[in-house]
Structure 1
Amino acid sequence: MPRSKRAKVVPGSKVTKGTDRKEKLIQKTRAACAQHRYVYLLDLENCRSSFLLSLRQRLRPSQLIYGNNKLLQVALGNGPQDELKEGISRISKQLKYEKCLLFTDLPESEVKRHFAEFQPADFAKAGSVALSTVTLAEGPEALQNWPHSMETQFRQLGLPTILKNGAIHLLGNYTVCTEGEALTPAAAQLLKKLDVKTTRFKVNIEDMWTNPDPLENEGSGGGDEGEEEGDDEELEEAE
């Protein structure tokens, strides 16, 4: 008799691994909340895991925690009845979409300075707003650094191109994107092929909570680097 699909056994190691990872994130968040003076609720724009990891390095010994929002809410509490510390549930309730938490002893002015100084450029995604207007001039100069084999790809993305003497020629001036306007999927792909970065990673402070009785810091307080990287498993880097 064929074995029922419902009788499929889930290896216990997988369940344990997932449970341990969730519990580790909860405990790490609670420890950071108890240790630091301030908790900042941050909104992330155009985020990639590599940018987030670089920002963590820059902010140490502060702790930047990104993870499953529901687990972070469990760690901090969802209301006065179960909040970790008085008033922290106000932050917890706002954990939605691309949000993360910064646990630090730095005042708001210092945190804003770090965020203003760290805004790496990146390839824009479809639907994002272009930071500048990108125009390609008629002739062979605009695409002279690309092999003739890419001519078909450029044409498929909307560029009016033709091959002449083994070089790609643009048949007229072409505006790939306009500052302040949303990028089409074709424009986003074209900018990436042209190696043009028109967007930036940005972090905005949405709220702040002050810890009335933080524990004394011992050591760096930065946590284990391997654990920090593990917390980013749900941060999917855009293609």
Structure 2
Amino acid sequence: MPRNRRDRDFALTEVEKKGREQKEELVAKIRDEVKDAAYVYVIQHKNLVSSKMGNVRELLQVATKEHPGGRIFNGKKRVMAIALSGEDVPAGLDGLVKDISGDSMLFVSSSGPKLVQSFFNKYSEPVAATAGNIATEDVEIPEGPLDKIEFPFPLEPRLRALGLPCKLHEGVITLLHDYTICNEGDELTAKQAKLLTHFGYEMANMTFKVTSYWSKSAKANPVKKLA
């Protein structure tokens, strides 16, 4: 039975309410963390994969073991900017707001800039490519059956929709002829990137760059930009 207008409006209101509550919660968490912080960093990220951030946090914990307790916040830019503004935050912290642009996150820590820069600016981890990334190698899939464990038969329609010339043969996805997914130097389309992911190729790197920081001890000029 179709939902009436009132039901739809109520559902939308609930979604909006939940979204607003999540934003307010993030603002509160950031403000609670920065109130006694020694440093707050703005960090640009590229090709970030949320599922791999656990590894980043573990390695960061080891790197900053002399000053434990640092915390990463990766939310909407506007929400993070609000969190760093107002009367309830340390003096000068709002100077970081203009640096929260593009793909940014915050790192609140007791560790100094030399150590934090060394960790984040050198960090690089292979991840699956997305549309717009550049292919780093030629990838050709040979004619014949695909591994039925990695490519179970229900996946066949999805692979065909992505452009792979295949069919089911006795319950096994089979390539009708050799197929080149990409050549080195190609700017990948969404379909190419998804096919590469299915075949286990990682042609992008998750990287970070510390762009600026606020220091509690620097009273006169607490915000510093980094090259």
TM-score by length of 1: 0.64
Match of 1:206 in 2: 211
Cα displacement string for residues 34-66 of structure 1 (whole angstroms, at most 9, x for unaligned residues): 322222111121223222344334434111112
- SS in structure 1 at match of 2:35: helix
AA at the equivalent of 1:202 = T
Match of 1:47 in 2: 48
2:204 aligned with 1:196, yes or no? no
Contact 2:164 2:175 in 1 (8 A): no
Aligned residues: 204
2:106 aligned with 1:104, yes or no? no
- SS in structure 1 at match of 2:139: strand
Note the C-alpha offset of 1:103.
1.0
Counterpart mapping for 1:216-231 below 5 A: none
Relative contact order, CA 8 A, sep 6+: which one is greater? 1
- SS in structure 1 at match of 2:105: strand
- SS in structure 2 at match of 1:133: coil
Distance 1:134 1:171 in 2: 17
In angstroms, what is the RMSD of aligned CA positions? Answer: 4.2
Structure having the larger proportion of residues in strand: 2
AA at the equivalent of 1:101 = L
Match of 1:237 in 2: none
5+ residue gaps, structure 1: 215-239
AA at the equivalent of 2:27 = I
Note the C-alpha offset of 1:125.
1.5
2:73 aligned with 1:72, yes or no? no
Q: Residue 175 and residue 111 in structure 1: after superposition, are their counterparts in 2 closer, same or farther (change >3 A)? A: farther
Percent identity between the aligned chains? 23
5+ residue gaps, structure 2: 62-68, 220-227
Distance 2:20 2:161 in 1: 47
Match of 1:133 in 2: 137
Distance 2:132 2:102 in 1: 17
Match of 2:222 in 1: none
Match of 2:27 in 1: 26
Q: Residue 148 and residue 50 in structure 1: after superposition, are their counterparts in 2 closer, same or farther (change >3 A)? A: closer
Contact 1:65 1:101 in 2 (8 A): yes
